[in-house]
Amino acid sequence: MAALAYLARPRGWRELIDASGAAVRAEADSAVVAELVREAEQRATRAEHDRAVARVEAEKLRDELARVREELGQLREESRQVARTLRETQARERKATELLATERGRAARASADVDAELRRARARLAEAEAAAGVARASAKEARSVDDARLWLLLETIGQAAVGLRRELALDPVDKLPADFVADAFADQSGTAAAGPAARARDTDDPARLDQLLALPRAHLVVDGYNVTKRGFGEMSLEQQRKRLITGLGGIAAQTGDEVTVVFDGAERMHGLPPAPRGVRVLFSRKGETADELIRRLVRAEPAGRPVVVVSSDREVADGVRRHGAYPLGADSLLRRLARS
């Protein structure tokens, strides 16, 4: 309205502009008053809420005060009971002190008795040691007699064994059990065709291998290509065989044990170098794997002879273990060869 009056400027347009301004100011004042009324109502609401909360808190405090007074009464009663218990405990302590003094006197007398008994026991011990010395001397003489009798008995058994061997005409043994297995495959050998071997679960510690090879009359059976492909697979098959056989020859010379290395082969090998002393080299025949030949070698051994089979093939390890052999991983032999 003020803008229209200013633009049109009718008669009394200034009064219209003033009236419009007054109306705007009145509306603004009314809005301020309404806001003040709302704030007052909100403050009154909050005050009423605070009074209600204060009443609730006052009730809680009165309940808490009653509970504290009750607990205080209980504490006073417990304090009286504790004081009474303390007096009884002090009385028992005095009695215990008197009993302790009495027991100390008894213990002193008992200690004196024990010392006297100990002196008597030492005297008896000295007498017993003297008697034991005499008994040891007698036992030594008796043992000398027993040793002489045992020597005569062993000499008699030895002479009887010589006579029995002469009666039975037994020739000296010049073949071992593995030689009979080797004879069955003497004319059949071939090239290697070993697949990826499963990792055996046995230890690869070379110290374990040394312990087993230290057993009397031990027989070391090696899964050839399983070891060479794991240790020096970058070489040709011929170089792999040569390196392994040479290392096994050193072990045979050091330990004096029987050593057999088995390779997979489907056809005859030509121009093989001679095996070192104490090392037997076998190739599986056509249609049979080196694993099967190794199991044949283990089965051919007499019960009780220590047979050590080196292979990281799980099937080989499980198979020879069932026949009483000691399976070891290929790494144990490779570390032993590296150490040599």
Q: Convert the pLDDT of each residue in 95-119 to its tens digit.
A: 999 999 999 989 999 999 999 999 9
Tell me which residues of the chain have a pLDDT lower than 70. Answer: 145, 147-156, 158-159, 161-163, 165-175, 179-180, 182-203, 266-273
pLDDT value, residue 204: 77
Q: How far is CA 145 from the centre of its chain?
A: 54
pLDDT value, residue 308: 95
Domains of the chain as residue ranges with CATH: 177-339 (3.40.50)
For residues 335 and 208, what is the distance between their CA atoms, to the nearest angstrom?
11
pLDDT value, residue 184: 54
The burial of 252, by beta-carbon neighbours within 10 Å (0-12 exposed, 13-18 middle, 19 or more buried), is given as buried
pLDDT value, residue 159: 66
pLDDT value, residue 13: 81
Share of the chain above pLDDT 70, in %: 82
Residue keyed to tokens 């240790």 = 231
Residue range 11-39, pLDDT digits in tens: 888 888 888 888 888 888 888 889 999 99
pLDDT value, residue 95: 92
DSSP string, 103-152: HHHHHHHHHHHHHHHHHHHHHHHHHHHHHHHHHHHHHHHHHHHHHHHHHH
What CA–CA distances, in Å, run from 133 to 130, 137, 278?
A: 5, 6, 54
For residues 91 and 93, what is the distance between their CA atoms, to the nearest angstrom?
5
What CA–CA distances, in Å, run from 302 to 49, 177, 211, 325?
A: 101, 8, 20, 11
Phi, psi (deg, nearest 5) at residue 261: -115, 135
**Axis-axis angle for helices 237-255, 330-339 (nearest 10):** 70
